[in-house]
Structure 1
Amino acid sequence: MQTKIVLHADELSRLPELFGNLANLVKYQTQHPTDQITVTVVLNGDAIMAYLMPSVTEKIATYLQAKMTIEFHACNNSLSSHGIAATQLPTGVIVVPAGVLDLALLQDHGFRYIKP
Structure 2
Amino acid sequence: VIVQRRSWTITLDEIGKGDFTGVSRDLVLAIERLRAQRDLPRFVYIRPTEQALRRSGAEGRDKDTKPVFVDLESYLFLEIFHRWLTKSGELEVTEMLPDPDHLLWKEADGRRTFELRTLIIPRS
TM value normalised by structure 2:
0.28
> Larger strand proportion, structure 1 or 2?
1
> Larger helix proportion, structure 1 or 2?
1
- Structure with larger Rg: 2
TM value normalised by structure 1:
0.29
